[in-house]
Amino acid sequence: MTVIGGEVRPVYGRIARWLEETPIEHLSSRRAQAELLFRRMGITFAVYGEKDAGERLIPFDIIPRIMLRSEWTRLETGLLQRVKALNAFLQDVYGAQEILKAGKVPKDLVLGNPEFRKEMVGKKVPHDIYVQIAGIDVVRTGEEDFYVLEDNVRTPSGVSYMLENREVMMRLMPDLFAEHRVAPVENYPDVLLAALRSVAPDSAGSQPTVALLTPGRFNSAYYEHSFLADKLGVELVEGRDLFVEADKLYMRTTQGPKQIDVLYRRIDDNFLDPEVFNPDSVLGVPGLMRAYHAGSVTLANAVGTGVADDKAIYTYMPEIVEFYLGETAILKNVPTWRCREPDALRHVLDHLPELVVKEVNGSGGYGMLVGPRATKAQIEAFAVKLAKDPNNFIAQPTLALSTTPTFFDTGVAPRHVDLRPFVLTGTNGVRVVPGGLTRVALIENSLVVNSSQGGGTKDTWIVDDALFEPGRTFQVQSQSQGFGAQSQSQSPS
């Protein structure tokens, strides 16, 4: 097995040994089997706006990403802090707006934001929780350095790939999996369902009814919607399956109408209720906002959360954390120039070949410029767009992102990765899935990991530090147990 470039960190020692001992033909066979499993499972996504925009598989790399438990614990602490601050920020900007009065965040950046929903001002949401599910994109630049790239608190996606990646790895490489003490992720649906039920309105019974709202089978993430509904054991519904009566939300069933207490919605605000937002929407439910404001149904995530994952608001997260929690942000922000500010705009225009420039409401890797990888013509065209609408952009330096070993037909080579951990918030607490979804830039030297831009995914293993202490034994962790649970069987380290 050929390994191209890069040094092996101790945590990858067993993986390195496995790669050295495994013929490349065997690894290629494992990758082919993984692809076959994903096809059988139906794990696909769609890319809009392309001629061949049919259903595709997201490329899967058979070499896992590995982090020590001690490293993960530091990251987890920062994630919990960040999501608590985001919830406090949303509660405030739709309430007393103290942070705006204090001048910590510019008023126009919030009140003039296209994702700020005036319909939510002064309205309570059940239990004051706006973000039940968050996906925080993180990159590593050194042994101790983690940076947040962006916060996803509208309808974060990707958790189905995290779960299916784990299942495939356990099927294909049980011996390698058994050698590592890997934190389990497969009980994520149980933890999510508990969080969703915990935020049901007080009027709901002891077993609140939860449903998952999808735009339908033509949506790029429809596989994930159906997968999660199945794993949660809840109904997968479309807008046409629902109706509002007497300010309560119901779904149509063969036994008659059934009231919904919590709606896990996977469609954007604009399409939720044609009476309030886009009148042409056929994806939502007329009257849904009336039921929501009446307090008879919880929407997860809450309407209006998009203002908190705007990339311009992101630049103020250190101030937001300090304002609401009285703490210094544990996770660093990437240094960012706000192009809406004249001095910052001049700097960005003068240094475009060195910077990454993003739309403040962009996603999926679209609408961005990676200066070091762009042609002169692309940079010149982007400069025109940037000068015309500077409020719509932020710019960041290109970070020296960490790499992980990635398998190709020619051997193993390093590729840049990021990580999307998933943070769940309910009245029962805030929990973080141990690991999350690792996305990998499969193109050499590329920094773009998005699946829509050719990126792939890896399984993410959080392993116990004791595994790397000579002479120690460790307990094999049963995948049927909860986050952090341990079984009693012994295995040599």
Of 128, 297, 116, give the one whose Cα is nearest residue 211: 297
Containing H/E element for 370?
A: strand 369-370
Q: What domain range is 385 assigned to?
A: 335-398
Examine the fold and report which residue of 350, 380, 398 is the final residue of a domain before the chain moves on. 398
Q: How many domains does the structure of the chain reveal? A: 2
- Do 312 and 360 belong together in one domain? no
How far is 94 from 120, CA to CA, in rounded Å?
6
C-alpha torsion 122→124→129→131, nearest 10: -60
Domain-located, residue 237: no
Q: What is the pLDDT of residue 245?
A: 97
Domain-located, residue 167: yes
Bond into 445 cis (ω within 30): no
pLDDT at 100 over 60: yes
Residue with the larger pLDDT of the pair 250 and 476: 250
* Exposed / middle / buried, residue 228 (Cβ in 10 Å: 0-12, 13-18, 19+): buried
Q: Three-state SS for 96?
A: coil
Half-sphere exposure of 462 (CA within 13 A, CB side): 22
CB burial readout 112-139, b (16+ within 10 A) else e = ebebbbebbeebebbbebbbbbbbbbbb
- Do 443 and 479 belong together in one domain? yes
- Segment 180-221, tens digit of pLDDT: 989 999 999 999 999 999 999 998 988 999 999 999 988 888
Q: What is the pLDDT of residue 10?
A: 83
Residue 448 pLDDT class (50, 70, 90 cuts): confident
Domain-located, residue 277: no
CATH assignment at residue 382: 3.30.1490.270
